[in-house]
Amino acid sequence: MEKVISDCRKRAIGLNFGEYYYYLAQCYEDINQFGDPNPYFDNFRRMYFYLKSGLLGCADAYTNLASIIENSDTIKNNRERAKAYFKLAYELGSEDGKHNYFLILKQEEYPTCLKLRVTFYGDKIDCDYLSKVIGLVPNTAIYESSRISLYKGSRYGNAQWQYEFDFIATLKLEPLVVLFKEYFGRKIKVLGNYIYDNDLTTRIDILADINYHSIPSYYMDTEFLSLISKLNGSIYYYQEYFDGFEEVFKE
């Protein structure tokens, strides 16, 4: 790989062609993706060569650069900067750039709807007892009774308790986390002992609509994570198109 990069670098600099700079950036992408330890690789070079390629007229280089920036939490104002490069890619004829540019515009127009769903499951579960301890009654449409599971016949078991904090339009995860800590933290010792004594498992789902990037998947509220651990739980982040958004964001 080092020889390929060296040859490509010589051609790119010597001929000053956007395609060579693009290919050079792709080499660094491959190194990053496959985790090949290489002293030549760093994130700055990858972005620099995409930028150089874009300046020389390569539309897809701007698209790739924008994608890197958009997904980097360490870059200040990353969403605004990504939008600017997606726009440049779109103006140069990139279909991917066009798609992503207008997607960001749609995301800015509508609020992010977040949901936090809590699910306890296991063969020994007593849903009535859980409701009494927590102070919440299962509220999801898919929950029917203590004997009928959301994921009936699946690896989640045949009985479960589920509650969903939803209908909150916010750009922050914090309001949902506060609600979770309020209800599940006040009797965590009793609840935690019950879960471990009865071999139950907890699943925390953080769901978002089209504005998936607004979810801070790196969210590290120590009290929140500690509660999840005491509940024998795992946390998952994923995207869901909520009611009312399907038509708005249909391609």
Using a pLDDT cut of 90, give the percent of the chain over it: 30
Domains of the chain: 2-109 (1.25.40.10), 113-239 (no CATH)
- Mean pLDDT of all residues in 208-216: 59
73 pLDDT more than 60: yes
User: Could you tell me the two tokens for 152?
Assistant: 């009936």
Q: How confident is the model at residue 212 (pLDDT cuts 50, 70, 90)?
A: low
The DSSP-derived string for 147-201 is TB-TTTTSTT-S-EEEEEEEEEE-S-SHHHHHHHHHHHSTTHHHHHHHHHHTT-E
Q: C-alpha distances in angstroms, 131 versus 125, 159, 223?
A: 11, 14, 22
Q: How confident is the model at residue 242 (pLDDT cuts 50, 70, 90)?
A: low
SS3 content of the chain, % helix, strand, coil (to 5): 50, 15, 35
Looking at residue 205, its pLDDT comes to 85
Q: Are 129 and 146 in contact (CB under 8 A)?
A: no
CA 209/CA 211 separation, integer angstroms:
5
Q: pLDDT tens-digit profile of 101-154?
A: 988 887 776 656 678 889 998 888 888 899 999 999 888 754 444 333 344 433
DSSP 212: G
How many residues can be counted in the chain? 251
Mean per-residue pLDDT of the chain: 77
84 pLDDT more than 80: yes
Q: pLDDT tens-digit profile of 37-62?
A: 554 456 788 888 899 999 999 999 99
Looking at residue 36, its pLDDT comes to 58
Q: Is 29 exposed, middle or buried (0-12, 13-18, 19+ CB in 10 A)?
A: middle
227 pLDDT more than 90: yes
Q: Are 207 and 115 in contact (CB under 8 A)?
A: yes
pTM above 0.75, yes or no: no
Looking at residue 67, its pLDDT comes to 92
